[in-house]
Amino acid sequence: MEERPDGLPDEGDDRKRTGRIKDFAYEKTPKKLKNATDLQVRFRTGFVYVALSVLCILISDWTTLVLLVATAGITAGEFYYMLRSDAKLPNEMLGIIAAMLYPVSVFFLGLNGALFVSLALLLALIMWYVFWMRARVPDVGVSFFGAAYCGMLLSGLMIIRTSLPQPWGGVLALCIFLSVWANDSFAYLVGSKIGKHKLAPRTSPKKSWEGFFAGLVGSAAFWCVMTLIPGVTMSIPQAIVFGLISGLMGVLGDLAESRIKRNSGFKDSGTIMPGHGGLLDRCDSLFLVAVTSAILLVGGGCIPYVG
């Protein structure tokens, strides 16, 4: 692969390679699946993603861990790819490894595990900064932020999943996912129909206040469902408040990723999910919701903390 004068891979070569991969995949696609409409492609991709997520969450703690590790690694890679186009030089290798280690460390060591990974990552980045003369302080910050954003925040789901015995820990974690999906779905359906007042026109022009409030209702509804799960001690009023807070965090996470894409000049964070974009586009709301939910449930005495 040719390199630009600054040492970075040539973007034209990346596009050519991506095009060859797409052409190869299209040739191997059965005829009945070719020439699908955008809606059909979006539905098929979404169905596979949802089905895989639900199965991994419900089967066991270990399959949930695999799902979170894979999600952290892929989304971190997409994050760093976008930031490179924004004239940043993050240490992708250290960042992706740390992002994937966060859920693993929390699974085995609890919150102390996240502290150990953070310390190890910080020390490794300091050494990289000292011995690699092209690295700048913003590059160190971006490298650390990407790992914490995609890995550490997501680890909140590991705390929730392991807090209750099988199968209720999985059901509780799944409800967190469902609350995020309900937030997004309600906001899209209502916003696309009656949305007239822009929520954040400069960051995400399609979002409306009408959709925002509808999304909060969807989030609160699934938090109320959580009160029925054995082992969860939470009243309906408490669930509504926690659901609203969780919904707010989901919107904030969505807007944060939209701001990252806008600053980097990207429409989608990647192409791994045809019809949807990148995995980061699908998980942007989940990151803040995961850690916020863990704090609310454990701090509110709703679930036991297994550290």
Distance CA 38, CA 91 (A): 35
pTM as predicted: 0.83
Q: For residue 123, is it within any domain?
A: yes
Q: Cα separation of 170 and 158, whole Å?
A: 10
Query: Could you tell me the residue range of the domain that residue 287 belongs to?
Result: 39-300
Residue 15 CA, chain-centre distance (Å), reads 25
> Which residue spans within 138-251 are E strands per DSSP?
198-200, 204-208
Residue 20 lies in a domain: no
pLDDT one digit per residue (tens) for the chain, 307 residues: 444 444 444 555 555 655 565 555 556 555 554 555 566 766 777 788 889 999 999 999 999 999 999 999 999 999 998 888 777 789 999 999 999 999 999 999 999 999 999 999 999 999 999 998 888 998 999 999 999 999 999 999 999 999 999 899 999 999 999 999 999 888 888 888 887 778 877 777 778 888 899 999 999 999 999 999 999 999 999 999 999 999 999 999 989 888 888 877 777 776 676 656 788 888 888 999 999 999 999 999 999 987 6
Q: Is 235 part of any domain? A: yes
| Number of compact structural domains in the chain | 1
26 found inside a domain: no
Does 164 fall in a domain?
Answer: yes
210 within a domain of the structure (yes/no): yes
Q: Do the bridges between strand 198-200 and strand 204-208 make them parallel or antiparallel, or are there none, so unpaired?
A: antiparallel
In a domain, 13, yes or no: no
Classify residue 69: in a domain, yes or no. Answer: yes
